[in-house]
Amino acid sequence: MSALVEAKGLTKHFRIGRGQIVHAVDDMSLDIHEREIVGLVGESGSGKSTFGKALLGLHDKTAGKVRFDGETLPGRYRPADFQRYASRMQMIFQDPYSSLNPRMTVGEIIGEGLRLHSDLSGAEIRERVHDWLRRVGLEPDHASRYPHEFSGGQRQRVGIARALIMQPQFVVCDEPISALDVSVQAQIVRLLGELKSSMGLTMLFIAHDLSMVRYVSDRMAVMYLGSLIEVGVSDDVFFRPKHPYTELLIGSNPQPDPRIERGRETVAIEGEIPSPVNVGAGCRFAGRCPKVMSVCRTDTPPLFKVRDETGERRVACHLYADGGDTAPSGVQGNGGSNGGGV
C-alpha cells in the first residue's frame, strides 16, 4: 500500500501581532495510504482542522511539504493550483449550516464544482447533480430548493454530494457529524462508509468523538497542541493507548454502559490544554503528564516506533525511546478495560 498523501514536517504558524506566534501545527508528519481512512482526534485547539486545511492548500504552509500522489504540492496555492487540485482533493465541513451558501439552490451548490472544473454541459451537470442527490439519500427535485429548507442531516448530505461529485481521490472530513443528532450521525457515517467503498476514497476523518473515530477509521492519529503524538491501527490505539495523553483522552470518553461507567475509577486529566502561543522546547504534554520525567521538559520527543500486535505504531513519548520494550506496565488502556483483550 503506497501513501497517497504524505505530510512531512508540515508546519503552520499564525502571527497574531506583537511578535506572538500561534503554533497551530508544528512539524507534523503523517502518511495516508490509498483507500484508507485515517481518523484524527484531539481536543479543540490541537490543530486538527488547521492540519486538514493545510493539506488541501486552504492554509498556506509555514514550513514542510505535502506530497499528493507523487507530486509535491505548492506551499502557497495560486488560483491555478486550486483549479488543478480541487477536483482531486475535497473537503466536507463541520457545520452544515454555515458551509452552504444560503442564496444558492442546492442544485447550484452541488453542481458548482463541475461548472468550474469540467467541460460538461448544463444538462449533463444537472443530470449528475440529480444522480448525486439520489446517491446521498435525497430526491432529485430537492435541487431547486434552498439550504434553509433542509434539516442538519440533510444539509450534511448536500455537503457530501458537493464534495464527492468531483470524484476526488482524497477527502478531508472536518468533524462531519459533530453538529448532528445521534441517530443522524449514524446515518451520515454509514453513508460515508458506503461511498468510500464504492468510490475507493481515501479519507482524513477529523473528529473529537473517539468512539466514532475508532468505528470509522482504519488508523487513528492523535494530536496535542499542534503535534502528532501517537498514530497506529485504530483498535490498537483505542484499546491499548501508549502515550499518556492518549490514555487519558480515551479514559475520559464515557461509554454508553452504566456498568462500565459506575465501576471504573475516574481518570480526568488535570488542567486544560495550554495556549499554543510561543510554545517552548520539551514535550508539550509535560505540564499535565502524570508520568513526566526530567527529559520531557527539555527535549521534544520524536515519534518513536513501537512494536505492536497488528501494525506499526508511532508514539511521541520518551517512555518509548527504546521501542517500548521496557515501558512501564502501568501504561495500559483504560478504555479497553471492559474486554479489550481480543
Q: What is the binding site for another protein (CB under 8 A)?
A: 43-44, 151, 153, 181-187, 189-190, 208, 210-212, 214-215, 235, 239, 248-249, 251-262, 266-269, 272-273, 335-336, 338-340, 342
Helix axes 122-135, 152-164, angle to 10 degrees: 130
CB of 186 to another protein, least distance (A): 4
Cell of 9: 514536517
In the complex, what is the shortest distance from the CB of residue 198 to another protein, in angstroms, rounded to a whole number?
17
Of 210 and 306, CB closest to another protein:
210
Q: What is the CA radius of gyration of the chain?
A: 21
Q: Taking each helix axis from N to C terminus, what angle separates 152-164 and 106-117, rounded to the nearest 10 degrees?
A: 10
Quote the least distance from Cβ 128 to another protein, whole Å. 25
Task: Tell me if 157 sits within 8 A of 136, measured CB to CB.
Answer: yes
Closest approach of another protein to the CB of residue 61, in Å: 26
143 versus 189: smaller Cβ distance to another protein: 189
Query: How many residues would you count in the chain?
Result: 342
CB count, 10 Å around CB of 295?
14
Query: At closest approach, how far in Å is the CB of 274 from another protein?
Result: 10
Q: Cα–Cα distance between 312 and 305 in angstroms, integer?
A: 7
Residue 153 or 324: which CB sits closer to another protein?
A: 153
Q: Is 11 within 8 Å of 61 (Cβ atoms)?
A: yes
CA atoms within 13 A on the CB side of 204: 29
Name the nearest CA neighbour of 247 among 259, 236, 258: 236
Q: Which is nearer to another protein, 99 or 185 (CB)?
A: 185
Considering the complex, state which of residue 46 and residue 62 has its C-beta at the smaller distance from another protein: 46
Q: Report the residue number, 87 or 252, with the smaller CB distance to another protein.
A: 252
Cβ at position 210, least distance to another protein in Å: 7
